[in-house]
Structure 1
Amino acid sequence: MKPTIDYEAVFRAGQAPSLILTPDLVIVAANDAYLKVVGRTAEDLLGKPLFAAFPPNPGVPPDAGAQGADSLRASLEQVLTTWRRDFMPLQRYDVEAPGSPGVFEERYWSTVNTPVPGPHGEVRWIILSTEEVTDLVETLRRQPPADAEGGRAGEGGTPARDVDAFARGLQALNEELRQAHREQRETTSALREAIERQRRLVFEASHDLRNPITGLMIELECALSEPGIDLQRILRKSLCDAERLNDIVADLLDLARVDTESGELPAQTVDLAELVVDELNRRAPGSAVAVHTRLAPDVLVRASRIRLARLLGNLMANAERHACTKIEIHVSAAPPDAVLEVADDGPGIPPADRERVFERRYRRREARERDPGGSGLGLTIAREIAEMYGGTLCVADSPVGARLVLRLPLAS
Structure 2
Amino acid sequence: MDQEVDFGAVFKALAAPLLVLTPDFVMVSANDSFLKLTGATEADLLGRPFFDVFPSSPKAPDDPNEEGAEALRASLTRVLSTGQRDTMPLQCYGIEVAGRPGVFEERYWSTINVPVLGPDGEVEFLVLRTEDVTDFLQQLRGFGEGDGATGTEAELEAMRTDVYVRARELHDLNERLRQTHRQQRQTMSGLQAAIERQRRFVFDASHDLRNPITGLLTEIEVAISEPDTNLDKILRKLLLDAERLSDIVSDLLELARLDTATPGTTEPLNLADFVMDELERRTLTTTVATQLDEQVVVCASRIRLVRLLNNLLSNAERHTRTAIDIIVSADPPDAVLEVIDDGPGIAPADRERVFERLCRLDDAHRQDPGGSGLGLPIAREIAQRYGGRLYAADNPTGARFVLRLPLAA
- Report if TM-score (shorter chain) is over 0.5: yes
Specify the alignment match of 2:382 in structure 1.
385
Residue 219 of structure 1 corresponds to 219
Higher deviation after alignment, 290-299 or 103-112: 290-299
Q: Tell me how far 1:315 sits from its aligned partner.
A: 0.8
Distance 2:325 2:351 in 1: 22
Q: Which amino acid aligns with 1:211?
A: N
User: Residue 52 of structure 1: which of 50, 53, 56 is its match?
Assistant: 50
- Given candidates 266, 269, 275, the residue that maps to 1:268 is 266
CA distance in 1, matches of 2:372, 2:264: 28
8 Å contact 2:110–2:132 — kept in the other structure?
yes
Amino acid in structure 1 at the alignment position of 2:351: E
The 5-angstrom pairing of residues 176-187 of structure 1 reads: 180=180, 183-187=183-187
Deviation at 1:97, TM superposition (A): 3.9
Which amino acid in the other structure matches residue 349 of structure 1? G
> What is the match of residue 230 of structure 1?
230
Could you tell me the TM-score, scaled by structure 2's length?
0.70
Cα distance in 2 for residues equivalent to 1:340 and 1:304: 16
How is 1:133-148 mapped onto 2 (pairs within 5 angstroms)?
A: 133-138=133-138
What pairs with 1:138-177 in structure 2 (closer than 5 Å)?
A: 138=138, 153=151, 160=158
Matching residue's letter, 1:222: V
Quote the Cα distance in structure 1 between the aligned partners of 2:250 and 2:101: 75
> Match of 1:347, SS?
coil
Aligned to 2:318: 321
Letter in 2 for 1:219: E
The two structures have a TM-score, normalised by structure 1, of: 0.70
Matches within 5 A, 1:311-390: 311-333=308-330, 335-344=332-341, 346-347=342-343, 349=345, 352=348, 355-356=351-352, 358-360=354-356, 362-390=359-387
After TM superposition, list the pairs within 5 Å mapping 1:8-407 onto structure 2: 17=17, 34-39=34-39, 52=50, 55-58=53-56, 60=58, 67-72=67-72, 74-75=74-75, 86-98=86-98, 103-112=103-112, 129-138=129-138, 153=151, 160=158, 180=180, 183-258=183-258, 260-261=259-260, 264-271=262-269, 272-273=271-272, 275-276=274-275, 279-280=278-279, 283=282, 285=283, 287-291=284-288, 299-333=296-330, 335-344=332-341, 346-347=342-343, 349=345, 352=348, 355-356=351-352, 358-360=354-356, 362-395=359-392, 401-407=398-404
* Partner SS for 1:408: strand
Task: Using the TM superposition, name which of 163-172 and 128-137 deviates more.
Answer: 163-172
Range with greater deviation from structure 2 (247-256 or 164-173): 164-173
Q: Work out the CA distance in 1 between the residues paired with 2:205 and 2:84.
A: 40
- Do the aligned partners of 2:111 and 2:130 also contact (CA within 8 Å) in 1? yes
Task: Please tell me the residue identity of whatever aligns with 1:338.
Answer: A
8 A Cα contact 1:396 1:403, kept in partner: yes
Mapped partners of 1:153, 1:404: distance in 2 = 80
How far does the alpha carbon of each residue in 1:366-407 deviate from its partner, in whole angstroms, 9 at most, with x for none?
323101343434223323322332223344566764443322
Q: Flag the 1:225–1:18 CA change in 2: closer, same or farther, 3 A.
A: farther
Inter-partner Cα distance in structure 1 for 2:277 and 2:303: 12
Q: Secondary structure at the match of 1:105?
A: strand
Matched residue SS, 1:406 = strand
Structure 1 residues 248-257 or 377-386, which shifts more? 248-257
Q: Which amino acid is 1:226 matched to? A: E
Figure out how many residues of one structure are paired with residues of the other and give that number.
399
- 1:249, 1:101 → 2: CA distance? 83
| Alignment partners' CA distance in 1, 2:55 and 2:262 | 57
Deviations 1:299-353 (A, max 9, x none): 4322233332221121111112123344444445555433333333x32525735
Describe the SS at the equivalent of 2:383: helix
Q: Kindly indicate whether the alpha-carbon contact (under 8 Å) linking 2:57 and 2:94 is maintained by their aligned counterparts in 1.
A: no
Which string of whole-angstrom CA distances, capped at 9 and with x for unpartnered residues, describes residues 171-228 of structure 1? 7666655655555554444444444444444444444344334433433443344342
Give distance in 2, aligned partners of 1:43 and 1:217: 90
Report Cα offsets for 1:26-84 as digits up to 9, x if no partner.
Answer: 98986665554334568877x879x6398431455899856434544554565677676
Give the superposed CA RMSD. 5.0
Maintained 8 Å contact 1:331/1:339: yes
State the distance in 2 between where 1:165 and 1:254 align: 58
Query: Any stretches of 5+ residues in structure 1 without a counterpart?
Result: 145-150
Deviation, structure 1 residue 252? 4.1
